[in-house]
Structure 1
Amino acid sequence: MDPEAATGVDRVPHGSSDDPDVLDFSANTNPAVPEGAREVYADAFDAARTYPAEPPDAYRDAAAAVVGCDAADVVPTPGGLAAIRLGIETTVTAGDSVLVPKPSFAEYAREVRLQGAEPTFVAHDAVLDADPSAHALVVLCTPNNPTGDCADPERLRAFAARCRAAGTPLLVDEAFLGYTDTPSLAGTEGVMVARSLTKLYGLPGIRAGYAVAVGDLRERLLGARRTWNLGRPALAVGTHCLDRTDFVAETRRRVAAERERLRDALDAAGYDVHPSDAPFLLLDVGDRTVDAVVAGARERGVAVRDATTFRGLDAHVRVAVRRPAENDRLVEVLADV
């Protein structure tokens, strides 16, 4: 990290509300958690009196089974953002250019700037047409946040091959890919994948995630990873959740059905709804103002994400896909603001 940059890079805004009286559609986390996770967390307390195993083999095995890679290629991290930082700081130096999508997760540009490098922005749906050769790294999010569209797998693999030929690593954020049946790019040469337990398993406070890479990129990530960077509770709960394939299947079914139902209802309420493969929808507010929608929903006990904080958006809010009754409440509120 560039010491000078560390004092001049601002924090970026995010969704989520800590108010228990607010129905939170501003954060894209699963409202359900895998059965038994609470008990696993409690049981891990006694084990936390000692350091966790290093490397944490059970966690790596469980993660590898999810994305279909070798366990040796899994690099545990305290959340997906830690995996993103690890990927950027091991490939980028001061003065470099990094290709970053827009609109997309604002932390990518922030992490690039912390290295003293410069983000070069390109439309999120044009990244796969870009020339990677002029950049030290390319970042891609699939499904993209906040638009929700998933990159075409064949085009993505072809782009990864172009990145390899150019000698430019590709960092793919798959935080929401588990909501789809699209295969992970984990284990692909020249590619670093970042994954998180935050979104799919509804556990943002656990801070568990992982990166996946092979070859020289893997050695960089493993070498830079801090020893004991996940505590025993995070490892235990993470391993438990990663093994819950039935939970994932049910979550995918529910989100797919509710997303389409919610999209139709919000479209009928006068919002222009962007197609999505993710557990959220991006809405153009049309004749309304974003401030009025956000404030009006909040007055009625519902939090939605002001999406104008994403580069390139000026008339949008983002809403999560929650349970049926909660989604009905969202429609009722947004139709009335």
Structure 2
Amino acid sequence: MDPDSTATVGRVPHGGEEAVELDFSANTNPEMPSGVRDIYNSALEAARSYPPEPPTAFCEAASDYIGCDADSIVPTPGGLAAIRLAIEVTVEPDDSVLVPAPSFGEYAREVTLQGATPTIVDQQNIVERDPTPHAMAIICHPNNPTGHAYSAGQLKAFARRCRAAETTLLVDEAFLDFTDRPSLAGVDGVIVARSLTKMFGLPGIRAGFAAGDNQTIAKMAATRRPWNLGAPALSVGTYCLKQSSFIERTRTRVREERERLTEALSETFDVSPSEAPFLLLDVGEGNVDSVLTATRERGIAVRDARTFRGLNSHIRIAVRLPAENDRLLTVLRDV
């Protein structure tokens, strides 16, 4: 990390509000797998000792989950920690990194913290860019906050060009769990970052991992702090990654509810096509504040998407449970 850069980089705003009845501003699953509480409670005794190093059971569960070798897994306390570690071992001061926009604001921040320059590119077109002048290219798939997903052909072609240019491709797959699209884990020259936050509704557990099979993943494994996941995170994470029925039920619910919300909201707003558990709404220039106020007065929080680069008239809403989504529709119809 570049010490001089730390003085000039501020915090990035995120969704998630506690002082409301229904929070549509954060993209975490409102449900979690049954049995998680018991697993968490049983991990208390294990927490009286240092967790296993390396955490083999967690790495094996993660590798089975995304279809790669267990030796390719680097456990991290959340997906963002995987992103930071990948950037730290790849990017040097004065490097350039391709960063998508509008997208997750932490990418540009992490690049800047290394003393490097984020080269901002439209998120839909980033896979068409020449990676040659850049140390790394970052993709969010599906993208946050737009929900846009790339075709397998686009991603693989871009990965090949990155590999030929000796440019590391970092793919944030935080929301890929909600689709039936395969992970890019195992593709040469690619590092993927994954999290248990979104699918399993457990942001406070802070469990995730990176996966890859090239020189970068070896550097990440060598520099990862020992015991960087506590016993509860490892136990709950290992358990959740095996809950295939829960994952399929969640995917079906999110897909059906997302389609229903899109159809209803398109009568009033411009709704971006999405393959993620959220929708981006253009509510009109100058109307964002009134929408935020109206929803909050009714006990609902939605995400002010103006915090994302280039979005001046948008909000983002999570896809929650059917009855909760009905309540949001009622409120938004009255805005």
Distance in 2, Cα, partners of 1:288 & 1:95: 38
Distance in 2, Cα, partners of 1:114 & 1:170: 19
TM-score normalized with structure 2 length: 0.99
Distance in 1, Cα, partners of 2:90 & 2:293: 41
Q: Map 1:213-292 to 2 at 5 A.
A: 213-268=212-267, 270-286=268-284, 289-292=287-290
Distance in 1, Cα, partners of 2:103 & 2:23: 21
SS in 1 for 2:99: strand
In the alignment, what sits opposite 1:16?
16
2:98, 2:138 within 8 Å by CA — same for their partners in 1?
yes
Question: Offset at 1:288?
Answer: 6.0
Q: How big is each residue's C-alpha offset from its partner over 1:222-254, in whole Å with a ceiling of 9 and x where there is no partner? A: 011110000000000000000000000000000
Identity of aligned residues (%): 60
Question: Offset at 1:136?
Answer: 0.7
Question: Offset at 1:295?
Answer: 1.3
Matched, 1:301 2:299: yes
Distance in 2, Cα, partners of 1:315 & 1:325: 27
In the alignment, what sits opposite 1:185?
184
Question: Offset at 1:22?
Answer: 2.2
Letter in 2 for 1:310: F
Give the one of 304, 312, 315 matched to 1:314: 312
SS in 2 for 1:125: coil
Unmatched runs of 5 consecutive residues or more in structure 2: none
Unmatched runs of 5 consecutive residues or more in structure 1: none
Matched, 1:41 2:40: yes
Q: How big is each residue's C-alpha offset from its partner over 1:36-70, in whole Å with a ceiling of 9 and x where there is no partner? A: 00110010001100000000011001111111000
Equivalent residue pairs, number: 335
2:163, 2:188 within 8 Å by CA — same for their partners in 1?
yes
Distance in 2, Cα, partners of 1:198 & 1:303: 19
In the alignment, what sits opposite 1:113?
112
Letter in 2 for 1:322: R
2:170, 2:191 within 8 Å by CA — same for their partners in 1?
yes
In the alignment, what sits opposite 1:204?
203
In the alignment, what sits opposite 1:144?
143
SS in 1 for 2:13: coil
Q: How big is each residue's C-alpha offset from its partner over 1:268-313, in whole Å with a ceiling of 9 and x where there is no partner? A: 2x11100000000000003661111111100110000000100011
Question: Offset at 1:151?
Answer: 1.0
Letter in 1 for 2:120: F
2:127, 2:155 within 8 Å by CA — same for their partners in 1?
yes
Q: Which stretch has the larger CA shift, 285-294 or 100-109?
A: 285-294
C-alpha RMSD over aligned residues: 0.8
TM-score normalized with structure 1 length: 0.98
In the alignment, what sits opposite 1:102?
101
Could you list the structure 1 runs, at least 4 aligned residues long, displaced by more than 4 angstroms after superposition: none
